[in-house]
Each structure stands twice: as structure tokens, then as C-alpha cells.
Amino acid sequence: MSELKKAIDQISKDRGIDRDLLIDTLEEAVRSAVARKYGETMDIEVAFNEELGEIEVFEFKVVVEEVHDPVSEISLEDAVAHDPNAQLDDEMGFPLKVEDLGRIAAQSAKQVIIQRMRDAEQEIIYEEYKDRVSEIASGIIQRRDRTGWIINLGRTEALLPKDEQIPRERYKRGDRVQAYIIDVLKESRGPQVIVSRSHPDYMVELFKREVPEVADGTVKIMGVARDPGLRAKVAVMSRDRDVDPVGACVGIRGSRIQNVVQELKGERIDIVVWSPDIAMYAQHALSPAMISRITVDDEDEALEVVCPDDQLTLAIGRKGQNVKLAAKLLGWKIDIFTESRYGELNASRKGMDQIASVAEIDMNAFINAGFETVESIVRATDEELLAVNGLNESKIGEIRMAINMLDLAPADEETQAEEAPIGEDVAEESAAQEAEAEEPETAEEAAGETADEEEIKAPADGGATE
């Protein structure tokens, strides 16, 4: 076997490059070198001889009576000297020694071979990693650049951009790290593999690796919402009634989920049961808070959640984290109210609903015009009410009558009866009593009054705080 053939076989094996592609590259390199030395007008044919293990080059010339271009033509006399059967207009091939190409042409051929091999290798790497998108890759931190961290994956490098990193996670050169492949780009310098550690699907792949039931499809992950590095919610369901999806993901004494938490540097993970009923799903997603009731608005994909007063902090979470992740998991807007606040709003809405029903218009028309309570409507003039879309003078009259008949108007704080004048004797007696109250006869009485006042005020203050 020739040295060239051995080299082709070895490179093909070591680099994983197709052998035929290597041979085509060699042939193209030699063709380019010949053209560089003799010019583009020379008609040549380059082929790899498998038996000899060598590159063969032939130049072709046309047989003519009078030669005008020595590169592409040969005289009949010279042609007959090579082949007695040669005739005019025949095309004759003459072997050209590759060794005669010269140093510059050989260097050019070498550059073509190197570049073509690099291109072929990059194409192989691109095809390999393109098929690995959505998989976890492992590599070693190599260096940092302005866009993020460069990770050595072995055959190529990957980029971990800043916005795909877990906040507050620190790396140093030589650290081994795992990440989720989100994209593979074709670049002039080679394929660019983009990886992420904050992507929700990275958590899905980690659970597939740690939980056999997730890997075989018995337990399905229906959604993931992450606040990378801090907290995450994962919705799961089971295709088998005998398999508890939450228990399968958590594992015995939390062994399975703990492996995922460690990989994500302590990110807290809540496993919740998915449900086709959005209200039930929301109740699970807002855990550990207890929920009293949920109102569903399918049209706007919004939920009104009511919880006990002492559960509001749990439902919202630190810096709104719990409700934010629940909303992201569901894909719905969530508004949370305490039971006391919801009761106040509901009472106000009940009166507004009745007025809107009398006027035969939508309650939102009042709200859009700035009338959010019955009291605001009672105090408004007819001209101001005409700003409500759909109201006219006739309907305004019906609204006024309905407010009186249904007793919707808010009661005044003081009635006229309480403002009636009192008799002089009573007034004088009252003034005397007030004077006595303001000027206690002894220090002991003064101290007693002060204590009594504090006992009275304390409950009042406590009630205001609540």
C-alpha cells in the first residue's frame, strides 16, 4: 500500500471524515495546483488510482495541422509520433507528473487540502450537534469572553451566554459543567453550539435522567416554571393510576429530586399535580397556600383567587415569587384577594350589578367611565352620568328610582334628628359634667381616669390594626 493511501485511510479513521470525501478533496487540490502553474486553459483530468494508491493527472490536447495554442493543441506530426493511429481533431491524453508542479503549486494544494478537511470536519460536527439539540452536554469551562463562558465539549466548543446562566452561579477555568443544548449555528469559523442552564427544558431533561417513570413516559411533565437558582414549579401527571407522579419524581426520602436540586445549585423545586380543570390546577400550583375559592374568566384567561387572610403571604410568596411562578406555569393571569377584602369588593359589586341590570348595560361601562361604587353614582350629576356609554336621561331616571327603591344609597354618618338643638338646662348640665371630667379633684382620680382611658383605647387601636 502506498504512503498516500495509508495517509487517507488513517485520516479518515481518526477524524471521522468520509474516505471518498477525502479523495475528492485531494483531486480538487491537485487540479487547483495544476491550474495555478499552467493556467486555466489547460484541459486536465485528475483521478485517484486505487490500485497504485496514487493521484494521476492527464492533460488533453486536440490534434491540429497548425498549432496556435501549445497548451491545448498538438500537431499531427507530434501526435503520430506518440500514437501512429492519431488523426486530425482527435483528443489525446498525456500523463503529467505531480512532482513537476513545483513548490508554490504544491503549497497551494496543501492549503486546499487543509481547508477542505477543516470544512468537512466542521460539517460533520454541525450535523452531529444539530441532532443533539434538546440534550444535555457536559464539558469543561475553558475561558470567558464578552458574551459568556466558552465550554470545551471535546470536538468543539459551546457558548453559555450570560442570559442563559443561573444568576449568582460562579465558574472558574477547569470546572466541569453540564448544560442544555438549545441551538447550533453555522458560523464561518465553525459550528457554534449554544447551551443553557436556566432553560425550563433543562429541568425536564434532568428529571428524565433521574426518574425512570419520566424517561419511559409513565409520568409526564406538563409544564415547568423557573426562577433560575431560586425556585421552580413542575407540573406532572401519571398515565398509570397505580403510579403517584409526585412520589415518583421526589423518590424515597427525596433521593431523586435531591440530585436535580444539587445539579441546579440548591434551586427549590415544587412538584404539583397537573389537572385539566384550570381551577384545580391553579389550586395545586399555588401550594403551599390554602385557597378558599377560585373564579375563572375563560375569555380573558384570568383567575380571581380568594384565600384566608393568614394565607396571603404564602400565596404571594417572597417578592411575589409563588404567584408569579404559578401564573407562568398556568399561562393565566392570577389576582389574589383575602377573604375580608373580597367580601368588601363583592358587596360593592353587588350594588353595581343591580344598577347595571336596571340600566340594561354592562357594568364595565360604569367602571370605564370612572364610577366604581354605588356612592359615586349617587353623588354624580346627570351630566356626569351621561358620560357612561349607553346611558341616556331616561335610563338615568330609572337608575335614581332603583337606588331609592332598593335602598342602595349609602347611609349618612349623622342624621338630622341627631343634629336637633337641645334645651338650655340640659346644655348647662352637660357643660358642668364636661368641666368636672376635665378637672379631676385629686391626683388619684386623675390617674384613675388616665388608666380608664387607656383601657378603652387599647381595644380600639387593636381593631384598627387588624
Secondary structure E strands in 125-230: 136-145, 148-152, 157-161, 176-187, 190-196, 219-227
Same-domain pairing of 270 and 334 = no
Q: Which pLDDT belongs to residue 244?
A: 94
Among 224, 247, 274, the domain boundary falls at 274
Sequential DSSP letters for 264-288: TTS-EEEEEE--SSHHHHHHHHTTT
Same-domain pairing of 181 and 221 = no
For residue 106, the domain's CATH number is 3.30.1480.10
Same-domain pairing of 15 and 114 = yes
Q: Please, are residues 180 and 112 in contact by the beta-carbon 8 Å criterion?
A: no
Same-domain pairing of 60 and 160 = no
Number of Cβ within 10 Å of residue 163's Cβ equals 9
Same-domain pairing of 160 and 178 = yes
Same-domain pairing of 71 and 185 = no
Domain that holds residue 229: 199-274
Same-domain pairing of 401 and 304 = yes
- φ and ψ at 75, to 5 degrees? -75, 155
Pairing of strands 190-196, 219-227: unpaired
Among 109, 126, 143, the domain boundary falls at 126
CA–CA separation, 179 vs 214, rounded Å?
Answer: 19
Q: Is 1 exposed, middle or buried (0-12, 13-18, 19+ CB in 10 A)?
A: exposed
For the chain, the residue count is 466
Express each pLDDT in 72-110 by its tens digit: 788 888 888 888 888 888 888 888 776 656 555 556 666
Q: Which pLDDT belongs to residue 447?
A: 37
Radius of gyration for the alpha carbons in the chain, expressed in angstroms and rounded = 44
Same-domain pairing of 346 and 270 = no
Residue with cell 352620568: 385
Same-domain pairing of 246 and 308 = no
Q: Which pLDDT belongs to residue 423?
A: 36
Same-domain pairing of 304 and 341 = yes
CA–CA separation, 409 vs 376, rounded Å?
Answer: 10
Angle separating helix axes 278-285 and 321-330, nearest 10 degrees: 150
Q: Which pLDDT belongs to residue 78?
A: 82
User: Looking at the domain assignment, is residue 237 inside a domain?
Assistant: yes
Q: Which pLDDT belongs to residue 383?
A: 86
Express each pLDDT in 237-276 by its tens digit: 999 999 999 999 999 999 999 999 999 989 999 999 999 9
**SS3 of 381, please?**
coil
Q: Which pLDDT belongs to residue 278?
A: 95
- φ and ψ at 10, to 5 degrees? -70, -45
Regions of the chain with pLDDT less than 50: 1, 413-466
Q: Please, are residues 369 and 361 in contact by the beta-carbon 8 Å criterion?
A: no
Number of domains, the chain: 4
Q: Amino acid identity, residue 177?
A: V
Same-domain pairing of 325 and 358 = yes
- φ and ψ at 65, to 5 degrees? -75, -45
Q: Which pLDDT belongs to residue 110?
A: 64
Residue with cell 344609597: 409
User: Looking at the domain assignment, is residue 286 inside a domain?
Assistant: no
Among 274, 309, 328, the domain boundary falls at 274
For residue 231, the domain's CATH number is 3.30.300.20
